[in-house]
Homo-oligomer: A and B are copies of this chain.
Amino acid sequence: MSTAIPISKTRKLLLAILVTCLGAPAVAAPQNGNLPPLVIKSQGSFFAGGAVLTQPGTFDPTSSAPVGQTLYGDHTYVQYQIPNGNPRKYPLVMWHGGGQSGKSWESTVDGREGYQSIFLRRDFPVYIIDQPRRGRAGNTTVGQNLIPTPSDESLFVAWRLGLYPPTLYPGSQFPPGADALNQFYRQMTPDTGPGNNAVVVPGVVAAFEKIGPSVLLTHSASGLPGWLTGIASPNVKGIYAYEPTGYVFPTGSVPPPMGGIAGTEVSMSDFLKLTKIPIVIEYSDHIPAADQPSPYPRVENWRLRMILGRQMAKLINDNGGDATIVHLPELGIYGNTHFSFADLNNIQIADLLSQWLKEKGLDARN
């Protein structure tokens, strides 16, 4: 399942556009509580990888015709901040999920600090990407017809905020209130070109070439290309995957598809590369037990994905690797959504990541 905005080609929809209230409470001058200031040695952004679309011929500077002109696209956008002092050796590279941009890791939907600032405070260099053909990396060498298709409520269910939007699950860790949900829905941003791991993975691998050895955080739809990036780039020193939608298995060991959820085949030699780095696959709350199918297909998908994730982790470990399944309710942590890293208890969620980084020696300083 892709969580990108669905593109329907010809359906005509009866659509009503309602301008939302512009008078929502101000969030622009947030109080940072008693937090000390962030001290940043350097910050900025750059592009990595990508392709060049070239129109044959000779450019005529008195004409705007495409003849002889280029279009640079399919790159990754990378924004970074390096904390001052004696930072950790391995940066964290944060890769958004489907239909999202790097915004996912910045402020939470209720204006608290997200992983960007939380991990700067913990002395990690932070690199946040927009994958090729998404967000600020929108230039694409292959176009597509972009037809807005309402899907927020499906995502509300799929991302396990609740079953009947806008009503949250009781005890949900999602920030309450209409303003938070408004901010959440607006995080969605479409692909500008066809989604294609053959484009996305080389773009992110190129980012890792510029960033150097670092730890990759993936979320949801970046799970699968995240595994492929970990296979392709020796600079990926660990992967912490938040609810990946996709999983890889070596040739001959791909489980039969379950209800449309299928593993992705890679060669055994590629699969074994994932046994050389520590890995976590994290699942939040409200995923049905393995033997309890859900009548809600977008929730049921998560039951099947967690089964697949456990199978992938077992295969990694059977081959000498180090993969851990973290299922938050098993740790007594309840109410988290598909965006645990931005939920109300995101400091607690961040602590789990910090603890793992420490255990694996990935939080060493230079």
Contact call A16/B56, Cβ cutoff below 8 A: yes
Stoichiometry, copies per complex:
2
Name the one of B29, B113, B137, B152 contacting A69, with C-beta atoms under 8 angstroms. B152
Choose among B45, B63, B143 the residue that contacts A107 (Cβ–Cβ < 8 A).
Answer: B45
List the 7 closest pairs (A to B, CB-CB), nearest first. A44-B107, A138-B189, A69-B150, A72-B185, A28-B210, A47-B186, A37-B84
Chain A residues numbered 10-26 whose CB sits less than 8 Å from any CB in chain B: 13-20, 22-24, 26
A13 in contact with B55 (CB, 8 Å): yes
Q: How many residues from A make CB contacts under 8 Å with B?
A: 119
CB interface residues, A 255-297, toward B, < 8 Å: 295-297
Residues 41-68 of chain A, each 1 if its beta carbon lies under 8 Å from chain B, else 0: 1111111111111111001011110101
Q: State whether A61 and B163 are in contact (beta carbons under 8 Å apart), knowing that A20-B50, A139-B186, A145-B145 are contacts in the complex.
A: yes
Supply 28 A–B pairs (Cβ within 8 Å), ascending by A.
Answer: A5-B71, A6-B64, A14-B55, A15-B141, A16-B53, A16-B56, A17-B51, A23-B209, A30-B44, A31-B42, A35-B42, A39-B39, A43-B117, A45-B103, A47-B187, A50-B186, A53-B150, A62-B297, A70-B150, A71-B151, A79-B106, A102-B136, A134-B138, A140-B146, A140-B148, A141-B148, A146-B192, A148-B193
Determine whether the beta carbon of B202 is less than 8 Å from that of A136: no
B-chain residues with CB within 8 Å of residue A40 when the two chains form the complex: 37-40
CA A43 – CA B103 in complex, angstroms? 12
**Distance between Cα atoms of A45 and B28 in the complex (Å):** 8
- Interface members, chain A 186-235 (any B CB < 8 Å): 186-190, 192-193, 202, 205-206, 209-212
Query: Are B59 and A46 neighbours in the complex by a CB distance under 8 Å?
Result: no
Beta-carbon contact of B190 and A148 below 8 Å: no
| A157-B61 contact, Cβ under 8 Å, with A139-B189, A152-B72 | yes
Provide the A170-193 mask, 1 if CB < 8 A to any CB of B, else 0.
000000000000110111111011
User: Which residues of chain B are within 8 angstroms of A82 by Cβ–Cβ distance?
Assistant: 29
Contacts of A62 in B (CB 8 A): 295-297
Shortest Cβ distance from A104 into chain B, in angstroms? 10
Chain B minimum-CB-distance residue to A31: B42
Q: Are B111 and A69 in contact (CB under 8 A)?
A: no
Picked from B56, B64, B138, the residue with its CB within 8 Å of the CB of A190 is: B138
